[in-house]
Amino acid sequence: MINRTRGFLLASLVLWGCVFVSSSGQVVWARPRPVDSDVKYLKCDVCLAAAIRLHEYGSSRGTKLSESELLDMLESFCDPFLPAGGWIPFMEILHNKEDKRLELKTHDKPGKCDRDCATMSKACTDAIDDVVYDMAEFYVSHKDADVEAIGKKMCYEIGTTCKESVPPVSDDWKGTGYTPASEEDVEMDKLRRMSKGNVQVIGPDEIPKMMEEINDMENVDEGTAATEQQDQAATEEQEEEDEHDAL
Protein backbone atom coordinates (compact mmCIF):
# COMPACT_ATOMS: atom_id res chain seq x y z
CA MET A 1 0.00 0.00 0.00
CA ILE A 2 2.81 2.39 0.89
CA ASN A 3 4.61 1.75 -2.40
CA ARG A 4 1.44 2.40 -4.36
CA THR A 5 0.72 5.57 -2.38
CA ARG A 6 4.26 6.81 -2.72
CA GLY A 7 4.14 6.15 -6.44
CA PHE A 8 0.96 8.17 -6.72
CA LEU A 9 2.55 10.90 -4.62
CA LEU A 10 5.52 11.15 -6.94
CA ALA A 11 3.28 11.04 -10.00
CA SER A 12 1.28 13.89 -8.55
CA LEU A 13 4.48 15.83 -8.00
CA VAL A 14 5.32 15.46 -11.68
CA LEU A 15 1.83 16.38 -12.85
CA TRP A 16 0.98 19.26 -10.57
CA GLY A 17 4.20 20.21 -8.89
CA CYS A 18 2.62 20.79 -5.50
CA VAL A 19 0.07 18.03 -4.77
CA PHE A 20 0.81 14.93 -2.73
CA VAL A 21 -1.06 12.05 -1.14
CA SER A 22 0.19 10.93 2.26
CA SER A 23 0.43 7.32 3.38
CA SER A 24 -2.86 7.72 5.25
CA GLY A 25 -4.60 8.71 2.03
CA GLN A 26 -4.82 12.37 2.99
CA VAL A 27 -4.40 14.93 0.23
CA VAL A 28 -1.44 17.14 1.04
CA TRP A 29 -0.88 20.30 -0.92
CA ALA A 30 2.03 22.74 -0.86
CA ARG A 31 0.69 26.27 -1.14
CA PRO A 32 2.69 28.51 -3.52
CA ARG A 33 4.73 31.15 -1.72
CA PRO A 34 4.11 34.88 -2.37
CA VAL A 35 6.78 37.44 -3.15
CA ASP A 36 6.41 39.68 -0.11
CA SER A 37 8.42 42.51 -1.65
CA ASP A 38 5.85 42.80 -4.48
CA VAL A 39 2.82 43.14 -2.20
CA LYS A 40 3.18 46.91 -1.79
CA TYR A 41 2.92 47.39 -5.55
CA LEU A 42 -0.35 45.48 -5.77
CA LYS A 43 -2.36 46.26 -2.65
CA CYS A 44 -4.35 49.18 -4.08
CA ASP A 45 -5.27 47.52 -7.37
CA VAL A 46 -6.13 44.25 -5.63
CA CYS A 47 -8.25 46.14 -3.10
CA LEU A 48 -10.21 47.82 -5.90
CA ALA A 49 -10.60 44.47 -7.68
CA ALA A 50 -11.91 43.02 -4.42
CA ALA A 51 -14.45 45.85 -4.26
CA ILE A 52 -15.73 44.85 -7.71
CA ARG A 53 -16.09 41.24 -6.61
CA LEU A 54 -17.81 42.29 -3.38
CA HIS A 55 -20.31 44.33 -5.38
CA GLU A 56 -20.95 41.38 -7.73
CA TYR A 57 -21.52 39.03 -4.82
CA GLY A 58 -23.80 41.45 -3.00
CA SER A 59 -25.82 42.13 -6.14
CA SER A 60 -26.31 38.40 -6.74
CA ARG A 61 -27.65 37.91 -3.21
CA GLY A 62 -29.80 41.02 -3.12
CA THR A 63 -31.96 41.57 -0.04
CA LYS A 64 -31.22 38.02 1.17
CA LEU A 65 -27.65 38.98 2.06
CA SER A 66 -27.11 39.20 5.82
CA GLU A 67 -24.13 40.62 7.67
CA SER A 68 -23.20 37.19 9.06
CA GLU A 69 -23.26 35.64 5.57
CA LEU A 70 -21.11 38.45 4.22
CA LEU A 71 -18.65 38.04 7.08
CA ASP A 72 -18.39 34.32 6.40
CA MET A 73 -17.66 35.04 2.75
CA LEU A 74 -15.09 37.73 3.53
CA GLU A 75 -13.24 35.41 5.90
CA SER A 76 -11.94 33.45 2.90
CA PHE A 77 -12.28 36.24 0.34
CA CYS A 78 -8.52 36.37 -0.29
CA ASP A 79 -7.90 32.63 -0.52
CA PRO A 80 -7.71 31.69 -4.22
CA PHE A 81 -8.22 28.02 -3.39
CA LEU A 82 -11.59 28.52 -1.72
CA PRO A 83 -14.84 29.48 -3.50
CA ALA A 84 -14.98 33.02 -2.07
CA GLY A 85 -11.47 33.77 -3.36
CA GLY A 86 -11.96 32.13 -6.73
CA TRP A 87 -11.79 35.53 -8.44
CA ILE A 88 -8.05 35.88 -7.83
CA PRO A 89 -6.79 33.22 -10.32
CA PHE A 90 -8.54 35.12 -13.11
CA MET A 91 -6.10 38.00 -12.70
CA GLU A 92 -2.63 38.49 -14.13
CA ILE A 93 0.09 40.88 -12.97
CA LEU A 94 1.43 43.08 -15.77
CA HIS A 95 4.53 45.27 -15.66
CA ASN A 96 3.94 48.80 -16.93
CA LYS A 97 7.54 49.82 -17.56
CA GLU A 98 6.62 53.29 -18.78
CA ASP A 99 4.83 54.21 -15.55
CA LYS A 100 7.09 51.95 -13.45
CA ARG A 101 4.18 50.21 -11.79
CA LEU A 102 2.39 46.88 -11.69
CA GLU A 103 -1.13 46.53 -13.06
CA LEU A 104 -3.79 43.84 -13.04
CA LYS A 105 -5.48 42.28 -16.04
CA THR A 106 -8.59 40.12 -15.70
CA HIS A 107 -8.97 37.07 -17.95
CA ASP A 108 -12.11 35.20 -18.96
CA LYS A 109 -10.78 31.91 -17.61
CA PRO A 110 -8.88 31.13 -14.40
CA GLY A 111 -5.12 30.73 -14.55
CA LYS A 112 -2.87 28.37 -12.68
CA CYS A 113 -2.36 29.74 -9.20
CA ASP A 114 1.40 30.06 -8.88
CA ARG A 115 3.70 32.60 -7.26
CA ASP A 116 2.02 35.71 -8.70
CA CYS A 117 -1.38 34.39 -7.68
CA ALA A 118 -0.07 33.82 -4.15
CA THR A 119 1.32 37.37 -4.12
CA MET A 120 -2.06 38.80 -5.12
CA SER A 121 -3.66 36.73 -2.37
CA LYS A 122 -1.22 38.18 0.16
CA ALA A 123 -1.87 41.71 -1.14
CA CYS A 124 -5.60 41.14 -0.75
CA THR A 125 -5.20 39.94 2.83
CA ASP A 126 -3.00 42.90 3.75
CA ALA A 127 -5.44 45.32 2.11
CA ILE A 128 -8.75 44.19 3.59
CA ASP A 129 -8.01 42.03 6.64
CA ASP A 130 -8.47 44.91 9.07
CA VAL A 131 -11.62 46.29 7.42
CA VAL A 132 -13.68 43.12 6.99
CA TYR A 133 -16.10 43.77 9.87
CA ASP A 134 -16.55 47.45 9.06
CA MET A 135 -17.10 46.69 5.37
CA ALA A 136 -19.67 43.99 6.14
CA GLU A 137 -21.57 46.44 8.32
CA PHE A 138 -21.29 49.18 5.70
CA TYR A 139 -22.40 47.05 2.77
CA VAL A 140 -25.40 45.50 4.51
CA SER A 141 -26.67 48.99 5.35
CA HIS A 142 -25.82 50.35 1.87
CA LYS A 143 -26.84 47.54 -0.49
CA ASP A 144 -27.54 50.04 -3.24
CA ALA A 145 -23.93 51.29 -3.19
CA ASP A 146 -22.19 51.10 -6.57
CA VAL A 147 -18.71 49.77 -7.26
CA GLU A 148 -17.09 53.19 -6.97
CA ALA A 149 -18.64 53.80 -3.55
CA ILE A 150 -17.56 50.39 -2.27
CA GLY A 151 -14.02 50.82 -3.58
CA LYS A 152 -13.76 54.29 -2.08
CA LYS A 153 -14.98 53.07 1.29
CA MET A 154 -12.85 49.93 1.41
CA CYS A 155 -9.62 51.25 -0.08
CA TYR A 156 -9.57 54.98 0.77
CA GLU A 157 -11.71 55.58 3.86
CA ILE A 158 -12.24 52.60 6.18
CA GLY A 159 -9.07 51.16 4.73
CA THR A 160 -6.36 53.48 3.42
CA THR A 161 -4.46 51.10 1.15
CA CYS A 162 -4.82 53.33 -1.90
CA LYS A 163 -3.59 56.36 0.02
CA GLU A 164 -0.21 54.79 0.66
CA SER A 165 2.74 55.92 -1.44
CA VAL A 166 4.21 53.22 -3.66
CA PRO A 167 7.83 53.26 -4.90
CA PRO A 168 8.54 52.77 -8.63
CA VAL A 169 8.92 49.21 -9.84
CA SER A 170 12.35 48.19 -11.06
CA ASP A 171 12.72 47.72 -14.83
CA ASP A 172 14.01 44.19 -14.30
CA TRP A 173 10.92 43.02 -12.40
CA LYS A 174 9.85 39.54 -13.46
CA GLY A 175 6.59 37.78 -12.76
CA THR A 176 5.36 34.28 -13.45
CA GLY A 177 2.80 35.47 -15.99
CA TYR A 178 -0.58 33.96 -16.75
CA THR A 179 -0.96 30.29 -17.60
CA PRO A 180 -4.50 29.02 -18.23
CA ALA A 181 -5.46 26.38 -15.70
CA SER A 182 -5.20 22.87 -17.11
CA GLU A 183 -7.81 20.15 -16.60
CA GLU A 184 -5.59 18.71 -13.87
CA ASP A 185 -5.45 22.08 -12.09
CA VAL A 186 -9.24 22.40 -12.23
CA GLU A 187 -9.72 18.88 -10.89
CA MET A 188 -7.30 19.47 -8.03
CA ASP A 189 -9.11 22.69 -7.13
CA LYS A 190 -12.35 20.73 -7.00
CA LEU A 191 -10.68 18.09 -4.84
CA ARG A 192 -9.39 20.70 -2.41
CA ARG A 193 -12.83 22.29 -2.09
CA MET A 194 -14.65 18.97 -1.74
CA SER A 195 -12.17 17.45 0.70
CA LYS A 196 -12.36 20.40 3.11
CA GLY A 197 -11.01 19.08 6.43
CA ASN A 198 -9.19 16.20 4.75
CA VAL A 199 -6.81 18.57 2.97
CA GLN A 200 -3.63 19.48 4.77
CA VAL A 201 -1.94 22.63 3.51
CA ILE A 202 1.84 22.67 3.91
CA GLY A 203 4.65 24.97 2.90
CA PRO A 204 7.41 24.10 0.43
CA ASP A 205 9.93 23.76 3.26
CA GLU A 206 7.88 20.97 4.80
CA ILE A 207 7.90 18.73 1.72
CA PRO A 208 11.33 17.10 2.40
CA LYS A 209 10.24 16.23 5.94
CA MET A 210 7.01 14.70 4.67
CA MET A 211 8.91 12.69 2.06
CA GLU A 212 11.28 11.44 4.76
CA GLU A 213 8.36 10.32 6.92
CA ILE A 214 6.80 8.46 3.99
CA ASN A 215 10.16 6.78 3.23
CA ASP A 216 10.43 5.71 6.88
CA MET A 217 6.94 4.25 6.75
CA GLU A 218 7.81 2.51 3.50
CA ASN A 219 10.88 0.92 5.12
CA VAL A 220 8.78 -0.26 8.06
CA ASP A 221 6.22 -1.69 5.67
CA GLU A 222 8.89 -3.50 3.66
CA GLY A 223 10.44 -4.84 6.86
CA THR A 224 7.08 -6.15 8.02
CA ALA A 225 6.49 -7.78 4.64
CA ALA A 226 9.91 -9.46 4.78
CA THR A 227 9.21 -10.81 8.27
CA GLU A 228 5.85 -12.17 7.16
CA GLN A 229 7.52 -13.91 4.20
CA GLN A 230 10.10 -15.47 6.52
CA ASP A 231 7.40 -16.65 8.91
CA GLN A 232 5.41 -18.11 6.01
CA ALA A 233 8.49 -19.94 4.71
CA ALA A 234 9.23 -21.34 8.16
CA THR A 235 5.64 -22.52 8.53
CA GLU A 236 5.71 -24.27 5.16
CA GLU A 237 9.04 -25.93 6.02
CA GLN A 238 7.64 -27.18 9.34
CA GLU A 239 4.57 -28.57 7.61
CA GLU A 240 6.79 -30.48 5.15
CA GLU A 241 8.81 -31.94 8.04
CA ASP A 242 5.64 -33.00 9.84
CA GLU A 243 4.35 -34.72 6.69
CA HIS A 244 7.71 -36.52 6.27
CA ASP A 245 7.69 -37.74 9.90
CA ALA A 246 4.13 -38.97 9.48
CA LEU A 247 5.23 -41.18 6.59
Asked whether the beta carbons of 156 and 163 are under 8 A apart, the reply is yes
Residues 88, 81: Cα–Cα separation, whole Å: 9
Asked whether the beta carbons of 109 and 181 are under 8 A apart, the reply is yes
Tell me how far CA of residue 105 lies from CA of 18, 55, 119, in angstroms: 25, 18, 15
Strand partners, 96: 101
Tens-digit pLDDT string for the chain (247 aa): 444 444 444 444 434 445 555 555 555 566 788 999 999 999 999 999 999 999 999 898 887 888 999 999 999 999 998 889 999 999 999 999 999 999 999 999 999 888 999 999 999 999 999 999 999 999 989 888 999 999 999 999 999 999 999 999 999 999 999 999 888 777 776 666 655 544 555 555 555 665 666 566 556 545 555 566 666 766 766 666 666 666 5
Residues 42, 116: Cα–Cα separation, whole Å: 10
Q: What is the largest CA-CA distance in the chain?
A: 98
pLDDT of residue 81: 85
Residues 185, 111: Cα–Cα separation, whole Å: 9
The single-letter code of the amino acid at 150 is I
